[in-house]
Chain A
Amino acid sequence: MLETTRWINNYFNDSTDAIMIFKDDELILSNQIAKDLQNELELNPQYLVEVADSSVKQKFSPTDNCFSCIIQNKMKEISIPITLAKNMPHPLNYFMIYNVIDQNEKVFSLTLKNRGTIDRMDQLAQQRKLTQYVNRAHEKERKRISEDLHDSIAQGVYSAIMGVRRLENNHFTAEEIKELTTVIESQLNDTLTEVKEMALDIRPSVLDNFGLLAALKVLAKRLEENSGVTINVAGNANTEHLSDDIQSVLYRITQESINNALKHANADEITVLLVAHNHYITLEIMDDGDGFDVPKYQHFNGKSMGLMNMNERVKTFNGAFKMESKSGEGTTITVKFPVA
C-alpha cells in the first residue's frame, strides 16, 4: 500500500500538467510544475480560483445561453481556456480544468494543461489523415493508369491490328481501301491521343520543355475539347526563372481549379491569367459559373483534398492563396508567389 502511494505521489509530482488542490478555496497541495509556474509567473492561486469560480457561476446561470457553454456543460469537469503571463513577451496558453474531488469537504483541483500540446495533437491527427489520403490517392492513381493502359490503349492497338488484317485478306476497291485506311488511321490516332493524354496527366512534359504558359494552353485545349466549355489562357509570364516546384504547383492548381469549375460550377467560360510582375507572379482562374459558399468547403473531409490541398501546396512555397466566390457570381482563385 505504501509502495503504491509513493507511485501516485511520484506521478502527481512529475506530471507535465500543473495540478493544484484546494480546500475551502485555500491552496493545500500543488505539484512541482505548479510550484514552478507560481514562482516564475508570480501567479496568485487565488486568481485561478476566482476564474474557476466565475466559470462555475456562469455554468449554472439560467440567463446565459452561449452555445459553447452548452458544450462545456456536457463535460464532466469544467474546462476554461486561460492565458497566463499576458504582459510577458511570450504569453502561455492553457486549459484550466476544474474538478471537484470532495463536494462535502469543499475540496477541488485545478489542472493547467498546455494548450500548445493539445494543438500539436490536433496537428498530428490531421497529418495522419493526410498521409492516409496521400497513400490512398497514390494507389488509386496506379489503378487508374493500369486500367487506362489495358482498356484504352491495348484495345486501340488491337482494333488497328484487326483492321490491317482485313486489308490483307480481302479484295477491296480503291474507294473501300481509302475508307478502311481512314478508319485504321483514326483508331491509331485515338490511341495516340490517349497515350499523350495519359502522359500529360501523369506529368506534363510541355512544362519541362516549353514552360508553364505553353503547358497551361495545352491543358486548356484538352479540357475544352472534353467539356465544350470555352477556356482561355492569357499571360505575359516568362517562367524560366521560376523553380520547378512552383511551376508544378501553379500547373496543378490550374488543373484542379478548372476541373472543379467543370464539375460543379456549370460555367460557360473559364479564364486563366498568368502574369509576372517585378517581384511576384500571379495566377488567376476565373469562371462565370454558379459560385458557392467558400467557408463550407474549406475543411478537410478525408476524401477529397480540394481547397485545403491547394492552399497547403501554395503555403509550402511562401505563396498566398485566395478564393472568392458568391452564389450566382462565379468563382475566382488567385495565387501569388514571390519571385526573387
Chain B
Amino acid sequence: MNPEQLNSPNDFQTIVNKIYQNEQFDFVGIALQSSEAPHSIKWDFVAGNTNERFRKIVLRSGIGIAGLVVRTGKPFWDNNLNHYEFSDEMYTPIAKTESLRSAVAIPIISPLTNLVRGVLLAGYRSNKIKISGQTALTLSQYL
C-alpha cells in the first residue's frame, strides 16, 4: 500500500489489524490528528487493547514516546516504560493504560507536506522481546 492511498479510516484499521496479526506485539495503535479544530491527536485505531481508556486520551506533543514522535518526526522506542510516573516527561498515557513494558512509535508522514500527521505505536506487555531500531524499521514497512 503506498502512502497516497492511506486516507480512508478503513485503511488504518486494516494496517493496525495486519500488524497485530503478523507481528507479536501485544498492542498496536494509530493516533491521528483530527482534521477539525482544535486538531487534537487521538488513538482512533487500535488492536489488542485491554480496556477502553485509550478513547479518552488526547496525545500531547512532546510528552511520552508518542508525543516525541509527533514533535520530532523521528521514531522512538523504550524498553523500560513502566518506571515512568504520571508527572514524568516520558510518561506515555497509552503505555500506562495498556500496561505496556516496552513500545516503539513511528511517525505517519503526510505525503503532501512531509509533516507528521499521526503516530503508529506498537508494544509488548512483557519484557521478553527487546525493541530496537530494527523493530521500528519493520513497523515502517506497513505504512
Contact = CB atoms under 8 A, between A and B. Distances in A.
Chain A interface size range = 20 to 34
Nearest to A229: B53
Interface stretch (A177-185, A209-217, A273-281, A322-330): A177-185
A151 interface: yes
A29 B94 CA distance: 76
B60 interface: yes
A228 B94 contact: yes
A228 B37 CA distance: 21
Given A176-B113, A259-B86, A227 B37 contact: no
Nearest to A228: B53
Contact of B56 (A182, A225, A259, A263): A225
B1 interface: no
A170 to B, nearest CB: 10
Chain B interface size range = 20 to 34
B56 A228 contact: yes
A180 B58 CA distance: 21
A227 B86 contact: yes
Contacts of B57: 225-228
A38 to B, nearest CB: 60
A175 B35 CA distance: 13
B97 to A, nearest CB: 4
Interface in A134-178: 151-152, 155-156, 175-176
Given A176-B113, A190-B61, A228-B93, A259 B87 contact: yes
B115 A183 contact: yes
Contact of A224 (B56, B71, B96): B56
Contacts of A155: 62, 71
B51 interface: yes
B110 interface: yes
Contact of B86 (A156, A182, A225, A263): A263
Given A155-B62, A182-B39, A227-B97, A175 B112 contact: yes
Interface string B50-90: 01011111101110000000010000000000000111000
A230 interface: yes
Tell me what chain A mostly uses at the interface: helix, strand, loop, or mixed.
helix
Given A156-B61, A228-B57, A263-B85, A180 B96 contact: no
Contacts of B38: 186, 189, 193
B17 interface: no
A189 B39 contact: yes
B37 A268 contact: no
A229 B113 CA distance: 34
A283 interface: no
B62 to A, nearest CB: 6
Contacts of A268: 51, 53
Interface of B: 33, 35, 37-39, 51, 53-58, 60-62, 71, 85-87, 93-94, 96-97, 110, 112-113, 115, 117
- Which 7 pairs, one residue from A and one from B, show the smallest C-beta to C-beta distance? A228-B53, A186-B39, A225-B58, A228-B57, A228-B97, A190-B61, A263-B86
Given A183-B110, A228-B93, 18 more contacts: A155-B62, A156-B61, A179-B110, A179-B112, A179-B115, A182-B33, A182-B35, A186-B39, A193-B38, A225-B57, A225-B58, A226-B57, A226-B86, A228-B56, A229-B56, A259-B87, A263-B85, A268-B51
Interface of A: 151-152, 155-156, 175-176, 179-180, 182-183, 185-187, 189-190, 193-194, 224-230, 259, 262-263, 268
8 contacts: A152-B62, A186-B38, A189-B38, A194-B60, A225-B57, A227-B96, A227-B97, A268-B51
